[in-house]
Chain A
Amino acid sequence: MKQLQDLLKENFPGSEPHLQQATPAPRIGGFLIWPDFEGKSQRERQSQVWNVLRNTLGVEDQQRITAILTLTPHEEQAILENE
């Protein structure tokens, strides 16, 4: 998990990866919060993330990832608002 965390931080400077162990282990998933996703579609963001993962991780490590969901800090805040 630390390897993936470091990889995301290195390739998305200023980002906050919130990763967690999926059930069942050893799968990993989570959110990547990054201001520079602003103005990009979800598809473009996924393309950006998976380009990094494919270029740096082996197939087995890629298969351990359930999802890296992407949001800007503003989107994260808006989603978490409650009535």
Chain B
Amino acid sequence: MRSTESGFNELVYLAAAQERVTEANLLLLAEPPQHVMASYVSGVAVECLFHAYRIRAGTDDTAKHDLRLHAELGSFYDGMTRRQREAVAALISEIVSRWQNNHRYRSWEALREFVLKHKLHVTQGRSTTREDVVQYNSEQLVNAATEIISIGVLRWDNS
């Protein structure tokens, strides 16, 4: 079993992906919900998943925090049908548009500005309530991250 420079092997990353995505969901269930940290943690969960796949594929970590490249380095799409690849690519796009590694430094207001600047509150030409844009963004992120972790873990277990 290969390990990275950090000493983590693929199973550590796979377990961490599941733990982080659970934490992201629990942050949204907290009272009050912790939208900023849930947003950050959901992207980290996806990074952990792709690290696990990359280590298993035997490729070096050159993706930094580029989730699309992470997926390619880990051969994440290998064996998927065209329909599956399209669905997964859409999920990754959703996450890439809403997540940045520097979200961990953002205040609630800074995340709100990020969402508004990138029009991430606009869906099908209609904007969500401007007061709720941070909530909307974090819920979309956590949903997409949970879905992709489910796909990645199930396919890992059955490969």
Which residue of A27, A42, A71, A83 is within 8 Å of B80 (Cβ)? A83
Known contacts A78-B84, A81-B84; is A42 also within 8 Å of B146 by CB?
yes
Which residue of B29, B79, B146, B151 is within 8 Å of A83 (Cβ)? B79
Q: How large is the interface on A (under 10, 10 to 19, 20 to 34, 35 or more residues)?
A: 20 to 34
Known contacts A43-B143, A79-B151; is A50 also within 8 Å of B29 by CB?
yes
Min CB distance, A31 to chain B, in Å? 7
Residues of chain A within 8 A (CB-CB) of B155 are 79-80
Q: Are B18 and A79 in contact (CB under 8 A)?
A: no
Which residue of A29, A43, A79, A82 is within 8 Å of B154 (Cβ)? A79
Known contacts A43-B146, A82-B79, A83-B79; is A71 also within 8 Å of B154 by CB?
yes
Closest to B158 in A: A80
Instruction: List residues of A (66-83) whose CB comes within 8 Å of B's CBs.
Output: 66-71, 75-76, 78-83
Contact residues of A: prevailing secondary structure: mixed
Residues of chain B within 8 A (CB-CB) of A75 are 150
Q: How far is the CA of A70 from the CA of B151 in the complex (A)?
A: 10
Q: How large is the interface on B (under 10, 10 to 19, 20 to 34, 35 or more residues)?
A: 20 to 34
Where the two chains meet, the residues of A that have a C-beta atom closer than 8 Å to any C-beta of B are: 22-23, 27, 29, 31, 41-43, 46-47, 50, 65-71, 75-76, 78-83
Closest to B78 in A: A83
Residues of chain A within 8 A (CB-CB) of B147 are 42
Q: Does B81 contact A (CB under 8 A)?
A: yes
Known contacts A43-B139, A50-B25, A79-B155; is A67 also within 8 Å of B11 by CB?
no
